[in-house]
Amino acid sequence: MNFQRIQKIEDVLYPGRVLIIYGPRRIGKTTMAKNFLNSNKDKKVRYDVGDDLVLRSMFKRQNRAELLQYCLPYEIIVIDEAQMIEDIGIGVKMMIDEYKDKTIILTGSSSFEIMQKVGEPLTGRHFTMTLLPISTKECEGNDFDKKNNLENLLIYGSYPEILSTDDTSIKEKLLGELVSSYLFKDVLSFDKLKSSKLLLDITRCVAFQIGNEVSYNEIANTANCDQKTVKKYLDLLEKTFIIKSVSPYSSNPRSEITQKKKYYFYDLGVRNALIQNLNKLEVRNDFGQLFENFIFMEIFKKNVFSGKLFGIYFWRSKKGEEVDIVIEQDGKLQGYECKWNDTRSKHKFTFLENYKDAQFSVVNKDNFLDFV
């Protein structure tokens, strides 16, 4: 399947501001940065990677003259996997303060780790871009076949290298490599997080519960650990772009559930590989969960692309009435219920009785492109 990224580095550059590109591992951050450098061959450019020991040593010394000399000859500097450099924030601050006309781009696969290292020094001196798995918007205009491509997206996900091949055996191999070699690398790099088995067990528990409110106690019992550990691992999984938490919407806590969260996966191919189920939809019993996860992430990506801030939640009353996705923007509510085949909703009228000015839509496999 062909695709074209909507997000462009050129659109978010600003004089005197460092650009930080976030996103999961293997999502295309390096490709985007190198393509940007290739499109600026008329300028003096430099590309470095955070695992370079010489580069790390230079930033660790924090010698202003040395850092300024490093960037002086170049108009554009890209440092890939910048979270691997301990003192990069202070060093980049020195550079951008001195040379406001230079373009400095950092990439990172862990939002938590890179913001720890650049956050305070670069306050007011940076913009961010979040690069996510490919959206259907980025496939439109490239002969997007709604029926066939939807099933592939629900099973194999939308990482760029997965979409770049039609061979399902290669897709499965790539997903296996991603899950076993790359996915948890950032999480396990944190101190005191050395148990890959426990991390995998907790992630799999969440994978089986997409679309449902998650019980930390239930996961703790299943994974044989305590709730504090579960919450810590889930937080780090979110900060490394593996899962996304969703809170319940409530303007009336007395009648609505406001405690538990839902979790969705940024990529369904990753989720399915984790539970070792890459079977076709016709032999699965979780296609409804997959479709809900897919629609949620497509709406979330749409938000990221637009740059417009809106809250995204789910809604559930104490009586068990539920709306899968609720968006709040400019004081208005929009509810979405995800149904694979159906066009009807059990809880539409209850939701609209509670929120009389809200809008409501049922999203199914035939009309989903109208909403994403």
Per-residue confidence in pLDDT tens, the chain, 372 aa: 778 899 999 999 999 999 999 888 899 999 999 999 999 999 999 999 999 999 999 999 999 999 999 999 999 999 999 988 988 999 999 999 999 999 999 998 876 677 777 767 788 889 989 999 999 989 865 455 666 689 999 999 999 999 999 999 999 999 999 988 877 877 777 656 666 889 999 999 999 999 899 999 999 999 999 999 999 999 989 988 899 999 999 776 555 555 789 999 999 999 999 999 999 999 999 999 999 999 999 999 988 888 777 889 999 888 888 999 999 988 899 999 999 988 888 889 999 998 999 999 999 998 998 888
Positive/negative CA dihedral, 157, 162, 168, 171: negative
Quick check: 32 and 65 in contact, CB under 8 A? no
* 143 strand-pairing partners: none
Picking from 229, 225, 237, 231, the residue whose alpha carbon sits closest to that of residue 187 is 237
**CA distance linking residue 277 with residue 230, whole number of Å:** 24
**DSSP state at residue 165:** -
The pLDDT score that the predictor gives to residue 298 is 95
Strands 332-338 and 322-329: antiparallel
**CA distance linking residue 42 with residue 38, whole number of Å:** 9
CB atoms within 10 A of CB 286: 19
Quick check: 161 and 134 in contact, CB under 8 A? no
**CA distance linking residue 57 with residue 25, whole number of Å:** 24
Q: Phi first, then psi: what are they for 109, rounded to 5°?
A: -100, 5
* 158 strand-pairing partners: none
The pLDDT score that the predictor gives to residue 359 is 94
Q: How many residues does the chain have?
A: 372
**CA distance linking residue 272 with residue 175, whole number of Å:** 9
Task: Tell me the pTM.
Answer: 0.91
**CA distance linking residue 96 with residue 101, whole number of Å:** 8
Quick check: 295 and 363 in contact, CB under 8 A? yes
Tokens 């066939």 locate to 148
CB atoms within 10 A of CB 46: 15
**CA distance linking residue 158 with residue 297, whole number of Å:** 11
The phi-psi region of residue 126 (left if phi > 0; otherwise alpha if psi is between -120 and 50; otherwise beta) is beta
Domain ranges of the chain: 16-130, 147-370
Report how far Cα 282 is from the mean position of its chain's Cα atoms. Answer: 28
Amino acid code (one letter) for 273: A
CB-facing half-sphere around the CA of 120: CA atoms within 13 A: 4
Positive/negative CA dihedral, 217, 222, 223, 226: positive
Quick check: 163 and 26 in contact, CB under 8 A? no
**CA distance linking residue 301 with residue 4, whole number of Å:** 14
For residue 14, the SS3 value is: coil
Out of 3.30.540.10, 1.20.1440.230, 3.90.580.10, 3.40.50.300, the CATH code matching 16-130 is 3.40.50.300
CB atoms within 10 A of CB 64: 14
Look at the domain 147-370 and name its fold.
Arc Repressor Mutant, subunit A (1.10.10)
Helix axes 64-71, 88-98, angle to 10 degrees: 70
